[in-house]
Structure 1
Amino acid sequence: MKERLFLHDRAEWYSGLGNLRRDVLAGMVGTFALIPEVIAFSFVAGVDPEVGLFATFVISVVIAFAGGRPAMISGAAGSVALVAAALVASHGLQYLLAATVLAGLIQIVFGLLRLDVLMRFVSKSVRTGFVNALAVLIFSAQLPHMLGVAWQTWALIAAGLAIIYLVPRLTTAIPSPLICILALTALTMAVPMPVATVADLGRLPDSLPAFLIPEVPFSLETLAIVAPYALAMAMVGLLESMMTASVVDDLTETNSSKARECAGLGLANLAAGFTGGIAGCGMIGQTVGNLRFGGWGRVSTLTAGVFLLVLMVLLRPWVSQVPVAALVAIMIMVSVETFSWASLRDLARHPKVSSVVMLATVAVTVLTHNLAAGVAVGVMLSGVFFAFKVMRLMDVRDEYDAATGTRTYRVSGQVFFASAEILADAFDLRDEAPNIRIDLTAAHLWDVTAVAALEAAVGKLRRRGKRVEVVGLNAASALLVDRHGPAIQAGMGAGMGAGAG
């Protein structure tokens, strides 16, 4: 197994080296797209830009080797930044670093236990709600930078949006967000105006990241503070990374190891936390851009991270002059592009329960500012609605044979915790028929609750002096009855002679 994994990795790197020029160029272009968004996500989280930039550098380098999906771009993302913002505001940066380390450990365990299969329970409605809520939160995070400011800030935001949306009509050789930053920075340097700049947001990196241990008390109290945020950051990061990996799988028509991606992301976040960075995850927009520019191998991911730090160190004086209005314009664009506008049209076309799940996911996420909480509520509602739908498919019909004095109940469908009560209520305890036959040929017993309901009904009928026969159990249902329904099993061997179909 290890040898096969090694050969697979070598093939991915070899493929990348064979496409070296395209991978390197795609990674470099991706870096230019990363810079504005990473800085913007940093001030969403309430930390210095260097925290997000260090994290993106470290995460990209580690994930290039440890990740399960080549060509994915990972770094400090808006979804994790939104979760982290509340912790930074209440306890400061050091607690965020501790939460990042713990989130990485959670993700490593998640991957090693192959719990990535749990992501299959996240329905399309929940994923759509997650994306829409993320868009709403990203936009709302810009409001503090748009209120109580000089009119020049609003003018720069409008100009930035115009550049972002109009330039691609002329050329796509250079990402329009980068042109937005260049143009607005040049304008504010040429014409001084009362607007905030990146330098006002905090310190930019001027050296390589160094190993550090978060300066927090090692106590249960600290764990109680960081654990909820760490769990939320871990789950949100895993969800977005799994969604990104699935997008790449579809675009490249290849498969990837989701379990390895989970563990690899955990290692990357662990490294980020110990080098002064915030937790991150897969970035859908940058990853799709990387693929479109020809980056299909791990080399493109590695290049994006390394080139990012090179640019930050070399161009630090210039980057500090970037107006915050340019970042706000970019984040508004990200918010608009992230939101699934088709979901508004689908509200009228999709089943009502799907729309309720999507809207509930958005509402809980926006109200709590916790993406993980929104996803949890969405998954729970999906499960409840699914159980309700399956429950309604169960049916019990009865017929009476006067010649033998036998009432036959024919059960069809799935019998489990949600439908067990319906089964129990289907039997008429006042029926005068001396013989009762329960035919489960078209039914399946799923859990202990179903067996208990059947056992209780059989017991009540017998106590009224009736001879009860249970027939038609399939192999799985019969095994469940053997283990958890001794009273049913005893009755099956008596009286009219029950059989298992």
Structure 2
Amino acid sequence: MKWVGRFSGYSAQAFRKDLVSGCIVGIVAIPLGMAFAIASGVKPEYGLYTTIIAGILISLLGGSKFQIGGPTGAFIPVLLAVVMQYGYENLLVAGFLAGVFLVLMGLLRLGSLIRFIPKPVTIGFTSGIAVIIFSGQIANFLGLEGVERHEYFFYNMKEIFLRISSLNLYSVLIAGICLAALILTPKILPKVPGSLVGIIVSTLIASWLFPGKLTTIGAAYGPIPAGLPSFAPLDFTWDRILLMLQPALIIAMLGSIESLLSAVVADEMTGTRHNSNRELIGQGVANMAAPLFGGIPATGAIARTATNIKNGAASPLSGVIHGIVVLLIVVLFAPYASSIPLASMAPILMVVAWNMSEYKNFTHMLKMRTGDSLILLVTFVLTVFTTLTVAVQAGLALAVILFLKRMSGMVAVNKMLPDHTSGKEKVQAHMVSEERNCPQLGIYTIEGTLFFGATHVLEKLEEKLLGDPDLQVVLLRMGRVPFMDTTGEANFISLIQRLMQRGVIVLISGIKPQPKELLLKTGGYAMIGEKRFFEHTGEALNYALENLQFQKCLGCKQFAFRECTGLSSTGSLRQHIS
């Protein structure tokens, strides 16, 4: 019924919108599919097969009404590293296993957890990937010969430097023409895909004016076959599965992030709401199917999804049509794509890299000079110079450390006394001074989350309280402690036990449900005693005053409470407390 609901109220007018949008996105996807495949170290047709198979399945089974799926730039460094280290056949296995992981993530309802990845981490690795994509196309842009591809950025840059003498001016000219078309087409013909115009114009000029002067797709990868992608079962062995588990997890993680980010963008553009868990399942099924036809891993494509929406898409059918359009073009025109110069593909990927770099968000966050700036910079640098896995792990670890530091800094303990100038005599921290401070009764307000990172706060409080020989009663106000973990509970109970061993009466007021529930489970509540817990500070304060050593009040000039004036002269609380 949910699937049918996505097409409820569907009409002929909606189909016309989907048809127009699907055709436009399909045309946009063709050069991108080939470019992403080439940059990932595989043949261009595999990118087209991914666009067809995964694109159709993601639209049919995903959780976003307008999502367009296919190969994306974000996967390029990961897939290239897998191809170089393990080979294309193992990449297909990794892609299939990544699909399995995505389905499991969706079934386990982990879609919402992806949103907890900090923004500095996502911007950092996205910008880092953009640098890798851009730099990876310099050799094709310049037409350099004999360039070997390496897994790491530094060695790729060194390779370009060593081969710079083989610069091909024809490649630079053709790449420049394609780049100009990419920049000018949206301004002159906003409805026409700039990448398609750039490829067609630059390819025609290269074929007519510079035949044989540039490396083409056909020369580098062989002719692109016309026809339907053929089914080819994967060769699964236990050793191969174990070998590809880690790459598969990386692909699944990146695919889930990219697809859900794209779905969020679609929601913002249309005012709709996607189903994140269903989206992961749809992405998973698509990634399990694509390798069976030679396809590489796919995910939601933000730019193509936005194009789909801007051109009036009304339902997921536009994504299905986009896949069918690519299929028809492959069947009818695939051989002509073999004549496309690699120099024509380079500017397309460079523009993609620039658009995905999020340079505005990157520079803005960097200028803030906060902990997030450090997370961003570390993730970015490690993405460029090491691997995405190392970068994301380091970024997340740093984000957790800084978060814990911030959280521990937000935990505070303040000594309080009643403010007699206020009508309700609320306790205030500013009322405590050297001249006004009860030596027998300490009222402390604890604020913040008591977790393992706040150990030092309770340790300092314990040191202060145990160092006071006149202390008789401690009132801990817990109304501003929303959460307590087991480490926080252990430290809290340890503090109370040490005080009780000294004969100090410990009272607690205003405790929240979660900390109370935890104390009940651990036995801490029973150890303290139910009679020592109070809902309001006033009730606890009356109990505390009744348990002071009144003989010590005689002659005291602190006058911390209203009752102190009488207690100082008579030592009898019964005459003064109401």
Q: TM-score, normalised by structure 2?
A: 0.80
Q: 1:84 aligns with which of 69, 72, 79?
A: 79
Partner amino acid for 1:141?
Answer: G
Q: 2:372 aligns with which of 354, 359, 363?
A: 354
Question: 114-123 or 345-354, which moves further after superposition?
Answer: 345-354
2:414 aligned counterpart, secondary structure: strand
Q: 1:397 aligns with which of 414, 428, 447?
A: 414
**Cα 1:141–1:98 shift into 2, 3 Å:** same
Q: How big is each residue's C-alpha offset from its partner over 1:30-87, in whole Å with a ceiling of 9 and x where there is no partner?
A: 1221111111111111111121111110011111210111222110112123211111
Flag the structure with more relative contact order, 1 or 2, with Cα contacts below 8 A and sequence separation at least 6.
1
- Counterpart of 2:251 in structure 1 is 233
| Pairs within 5 Å for 1:98-497 | 98-145=93-140, 146=142, 147=144, 148=163, 149-191=167-209, 192-203=211-222, 204-216=224-236, 218-219=237-238, 221-347=239-365, 350=368, 352-370=370-388, 373-398=390-415, 405-427=440-462, 428=464, 429-432=466-469, 433-484=471-522, 486-487=523-524, 489-493=526-530, 497=532
Q: How big is each residue's C-alpha offset from its partner over 1:426-456, in whole Å with a ceiling of 9 and x where there is no partner?
A: 2222211133332223223421011011011
- In 2, distance between residues paired with 1:444 and 1:61? 47
- In 1, distance between residues paired with 2:479 and 2:56? 58
Partner amino acid for 2:75?
Answer: V
Contact 1:163-1:180 at 8 Å conserved across structures: yes
Partner amino acid for 1:317?
Answer: P
Question: 101-110 or 463-472, which moves further after superposition?
Answer: 463-472
- In 2, distance between residues paired with 1:67 and 1:292? 20
Question: 152-161 or 390-399, which moves further after superposition?
Answer: 390-399
- In 1, distance between residues paired with 2:362 and 2:6? 42
- In 2, distance between residues paired with 1:32 and 1:420? 59
Partner amino acid for 1:9?
Answer: R
Q: 1:64 aligns with which of 46, 59, 62?
A: 59
Partner amino acid for 1:456?
Answer: S
Contact 2:6-2:65 at 8 Å conserved across structures: no
- In 2, distance between residues paired with 1:387 and 1:237? 28
Shift >4 Å, 4+ stretches: 399-404
User: Any gaps of 5 or more consecutive residues in structure 2?
Assistant: 145-162, 418-435, 537-578
When Rg is computed on C-alpha atoms for both structures, the one with the higher figure is 2
- Counterpart of 2:91 in structure 1 is 96
CA displacement at 1:483 relative to structure 2: 1.2
- In 1, distance between residues paired with 2:457 and 2:339? 69
Q: How big is each residue's C-alpha offset from its partner over 1:277-298, in whole Å with a ceiling of 9 and x where there is no partner?
A: 1110011111111212222321
**Cα 1:374–1:404 shift into 2, 3 Å:** closer
- In 1, distance between residues paired with 2:438 and 2:51? 80
Contact 1:43-1:201 at 8 Å conserved across structures: no
Partner amino acid for 2:131?
Answer: V
CA displacement at 1:498 relative to structure 2: 3.5
CA displacement at 1:200 relative to structure 2: 2.8
Contact 1:474-1:500 at 8 Å conserved across structures: no
2:534 aligned counterpart, secondary structure: coil
Q: Does 1:46 align with 2:41?
A: yes
Contact 1:478-1:500 at 8 Å conserved across structures: no
- In 2, distance between residues paired with 1:324 and 1:402? 80
CA displacement at 1:127 relative to structure 2: 2.9
- In 2, distance between residues paired with 1:256 and 1:50? 31
**Cα 1:402–1:99 shift into 2, 3 Å:** closer
Partner amino acid for 1:417?
Answer: F
Contact 2:27-2:325 at 8 Å conserved across structures: no
CA displacement at 1:110 relative to structure 2: 0.7
Q: How big is each residue's C-alpha offset from its partner over 1:126-178, in whole Å with a ceiling of 9 and x where there is no partner?
A: 33223312211211221343444422112222222112112333222321211
- In 2, distance between residues paired with 1:167 and 1:360? 37
- In 1, distance between residues paired with 2:521 and 2:302? 48
Question: 358-367 or 448-457, which moves further after superposition?
Answer: 358-367
Percent identity between matched residues is 27
- In 2, distance between residues paired with 1:194 and 1:467? 91
Contact 2:40-2:77 at 8 Å conserved across structures: yes
Contact 1:135-1:339 at 8 Å conserved across structures: yes
User: Any gaps of 5 or more consecutive residues in structure 1?
Assistant: none
Contact 1:95-1:214 at 8 Å conserved across structures: no
Aligned CA RMSD, in angstroms, stands at: 2.2
Contact 1:408-1:436 at 8 Å conserved across structures: yes
Contact 1:59-1:75 at 8 Å conserved across structures: yes
- In 2, distance between residues paired with 1:391 and 1:402? 27
Question: 324-333 or 126-135, which moves further after superposition?
Answer: 126-135
- In 1, distance between residues paired with 2:366 and 2:401? 22
Contact 1:137-1:369 at 8 Å conserved across structures: no
1:315 aligned counterpart, secondary structure: helix
1:460 aligned counterpart, secondary structure: helix
- In 2, distance between residues paired with 1:212 and 1:38? 20
Q: TM-score, normalised by structure 1?
A: 0.92
- Counterpart of 1:11 in structure 2 is 8
Contact 1:37-1:330 at 8 Å conserved across structures: yes
Question: 99-108 or 223-232, which moves further after superposition?
Answer: 223-232
Partner amino acid for 1:212?
Answer: A
Q: How big is each residue's C-alpha offset from its partner over 1:78-106, in whole Å with a ceiling of 9 and x where there is no partner?
A: 21232111111122111011001100000
